[in-house]
């Protein structure tokens, strides 16, 4: 196949070249004037040809919660949004805390996956070094510690509560868990990620919740700052690579930058919701997610950090629930999490466009996550030898986000109604259309 006549995003900048694809990989880039002899020539005139996006933070809910999402609906939504690689979080059922659970999950999702995928491993407070080593050998893309989320021992389900006295609830993985397992984690060479909200801050802040301001009082930014500072200390002292997911506050950001300045190997992810929104009155409970979307000042600080390169990647924390769980409860009981994978690429391009250069967004969702997770240069770049994951974008047409067009099971997301100055025209996964069962399991290199 040849993708012909487009403006191609390459490591050397935008180039007027054709992309020659063979066997699912990029074979070579040739000037537009080079002869175009191939069984299939795709006309990309007037379009941008970008590397397929990587969403390093999705909750596909499979196996375990098909009423919220499954790997078929997740990856259909991803492909429609130009996301050709997803890294799926381990709070499926059972939590992916050992190699057998990872293998069970692989078997459950393989036939449904329409895009390529990597799988996160779960750290439990009961995790052993052997489980960490076996998960790394099984191909876990990283290890996730949900500080503040307990695990139900009988089912292996991760619950959004620190637990308490219920003997069936295992206390959350903690800073101590990470320190105890540091040797095995460092040896695995993949990032250790934390849901960085300090459990002791959350427990001390609990109060009655009626308004969004009340909710913010229960999960304040200081919880993120404290947890990020602790993760920085773990990284600096124990030689770990730590990845902070869904960074949501200026205080958390400043703690991360201080950790880096002190020598910690910290990489940072934020999400479109923290870069766009603060408007609870308009969005209602759809906007409830952990960490909470905070203030305009937090949003501006995160935007500035992303634009100057202090934040490494944007993932979505795509976390669908049923309409019943999201919309038919008061704020205190509505489930936390909302979908986003389908709007990742366009929302990032739009944000960067508003700052003057749309293409500045491309590394946030391609090269940077590919490098963090050991997928570069197979993924995240357009160069000879890389997978032919290509997204054709029309920069002269607009897309408005509408629930009807969303393929995730939770159709109404937080970017509902937003307009982006781009349209996705075509998406290729290793040179062909994305389709259920075509997605492959990715191991970190």
317 contributes a contact to ligand NCD by CB under 6 A: yes
Nearer Cβ to Zn ion, position 15 or 57?
57
Contact by Cβ (8 Å): 219, 197 = yes
- Binding track over 142-181 against ligand NCD, x by CB under 6 A: ----------------------------------------
SS (HEC) of the chain: CEEECCEEEECCEEEEEEEEEECCEEEEEEECCCCCCCCCEEECCCCEEEECEEEEEECCCCCCCCCCCCHHHHHHHHHHCCEEEEEECCCCCCCCCCHHHHHHHHHHHCCCCCCEEEECEEECCCCCHHHHHHHHHCCCCCEEEECCCEEECCCCCEECCCCCCCCCEECCCCHHHHHHCHHHHHHHCCCEEEECCCHHHHHHHCCCCCCHHHHHHHCCHHHHHHHHHHHHHHHHHHCCEEEEEEECCHHHHHHHHHHHHCCCEEEEEECHHHHHCCCHHHHHHHHCCCCCCCCHHHHHHHHHHHHCCCCCEECCCECCCCHHHHHCCCCCCCCCCECCHHHHHHHHHHHHHHCCCHHHHHHHHCHHHHHHCCCCCCCCCCCCCCECCEEEEECCCCEECCHHHCCCCCCCCCCCCCEECCEEEEEEECCECCCCCCCCECCCC
Contact by Cβ (8 Å): 235, 241 = yes
Q: How far apart are the first and last CA of the chain?
A: 27
Contact partner, 298, from Zn ion, ligand NCD, none, Cβ < 5-8 Å per class: none
**Single residue of 143, 212, 290, 422 touching ligand NCD by CB under 6 A:** 290
Write down the least CB distance from residue 266 to ligand NCD, Å: 18
Nearer Cβ to ligand NCD, position 269 or 312?
269
User: What residues are paired with 158 via a beta bridge?
Assistant: 151
Nearer Cβ to Zn ion, position 195 or 371?
195
Contact partner, 212, from Zn ion, ligand NCD, none, Cβ < 5-8 Å per class: none
Write down the least CB distance from residue 367 to ligand NCD, Å: 24
Write down the least CB distance from residue 236 to ligand NCD, Å: 24
Nearer Cβ to Zn ion, position 53 or 307?
53
What residues from 318 to 347 belong to the interface with ligand NCD (CB under 6 A)?
319, 336-337
Write down the least CB distance from residue 157 to ligand NCD, Å: 11
Contact partner, 105, from ligand NCD, Zn ion, none, Cβ < 5-8 Å per class: none
What residues from 238 to 267 belong to the interface with ligand NCD (CB under 6 A)?
none
Nearer Cβ to Zn ion, position 6 or 320?
320
Nearer Cβ to Zn ion, position 88 or 389?
88
- Going from the C-alpha of 183 to that of each of 133, 189, 222, 312, the distances in angstroms are 10, 10, 29, 25
Nearer Cβ to ligand NCD, position 5 or 337?
337
Write down the least CB distance from residue 87 to ligand NCD, Å: 13
Give the binding site for Zn ion (CB under 5 A). 195, 317
Residues in CB range of 386: below 8 A, 6 or more apart: 25, 26, 51, 377, 378, 379, 380
**Single residue of 289, 345, 361, 427 touching ligand NCD by CB under 6 A:** 289
d(CA 109, CA 72): 8
Nearer Cβ to Zn ion, position 143 or 428?
143
Write down the least CB distance from residue 148 to ligand NCD, Å: 9
- Binding track over 71-100 against ligand NCD, x by CB under 6 A: --------------------x---------
273 contributes a contact to ligand NCD by CB under 6 A: no
Write down the least CB distance from residue 445 to ligand NCD, Å: 26
Contact partner, 289, from ligand NCD, Zn ion, none, Cβ < 5-8 Å per class: ligand NCD
Write down the least CB distance from residue 224 to ligand NCD, Å: 12
Write down the least CB distance from residue 163 to Zn ion, Å: 16
209 contributes a contact to ligand NCD by CB under 6 A: no
Write down the least CB distance from residue 191 to ligand NCD, Å: 16
Contact partner, 269, from Zn ion, ligand NCD, none, Cβ < 5-8 Å per class: none
Q: Name the site residues for ligand NCD (rule: CB under 6 A).
A: 59, 91, 195, 289-290, 317, 319, 336-337
């Amino acid at each position: 196949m040849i993708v012909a006549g487009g403006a191609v995003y390459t490591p050397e900048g935008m180039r007027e070249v054709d992309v020659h694809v063979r066997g699912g990989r990029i074979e070579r880039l040739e000037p537009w004037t080079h002869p175009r002899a191939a069984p299939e020539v795709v006309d990309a005139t007037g379009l941008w040809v970008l590397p397929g996006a990587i969403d390093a933070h999705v909750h596909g809910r499979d196996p375990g919660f098909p009423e919220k999402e499954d790997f078929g609906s997740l990856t259909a939504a991803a492909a429609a949004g130009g996301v050709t690689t997803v890294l799926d979080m381990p709070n499926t059922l059972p939590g992916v805390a050992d190699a057998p659970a990872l293998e069970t999950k692989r078997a459950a999702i393989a036939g449904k996956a329409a895009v390529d995928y990597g799988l996160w491993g779960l750290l439990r407070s009961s995790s052993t070094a052997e489980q960490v080593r076996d998960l790394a050998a099984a191909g876990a893309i990283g290890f996730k510690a949900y500080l503040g989320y307990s695990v139900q021992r009988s089912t292996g389900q991760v619950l959004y509560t620190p637990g308490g006295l219920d003997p069936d609830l295992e206390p959350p993985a903690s800073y101590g868990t990470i320190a105890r397992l540091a040797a095995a984690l460092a040896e695995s060479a993949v990032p250790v990620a934390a849901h960085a909200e300090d459990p002791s801050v959350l427990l001390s802040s609990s109060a009655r919740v009626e308004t969004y301001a009340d909710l913010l009082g229960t999960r304040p930014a200081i919880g993120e700052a404290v947890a990020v500072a602790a993760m920085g200390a773990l990284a600096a002292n124990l030689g770990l690579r730590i990845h902070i997911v869904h960074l949501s506050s200026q205080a958390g950001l400043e703690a991360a930058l201080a950790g880096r300045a002190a020598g910690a190997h910290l990489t940072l992810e934020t999400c479109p919701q923290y870069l766009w929104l603060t408007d609870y009155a308009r969005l209602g409970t759809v906007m409830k997610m952990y960490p909470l979307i905070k203030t305009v000042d937090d949003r501006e600080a995160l935007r500035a950090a992303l634009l100057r390169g202090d934040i490494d990647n944007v993932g979505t924390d795509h976390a669908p629930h049923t309409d019943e769980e999201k919309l038919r409860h008061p704020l205190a009981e509505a489930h936390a999490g909302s979908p986003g994978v389908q709007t990742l690429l366009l929302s990032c391009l739009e944000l960067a466009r508003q700052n003057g250069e749309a293409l500045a967004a491309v590394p946030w969702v391609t090269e940077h996550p590919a490098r963090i997770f050991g997928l570069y240069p197979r993924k995240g770049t357009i160069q000879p030898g890389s997978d032919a994951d290509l997204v054709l974008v029309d920069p002269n047409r607009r897309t408005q986000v509408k629930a009807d067009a969303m393929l995730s099971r939770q159709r109404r997301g937080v970017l509902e109604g937003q307009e982006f100055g781009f349209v996705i025209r075509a998406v290729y996964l290793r040179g062909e259309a994305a389709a259920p069962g075509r997605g492959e399991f990715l191991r970190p290199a």
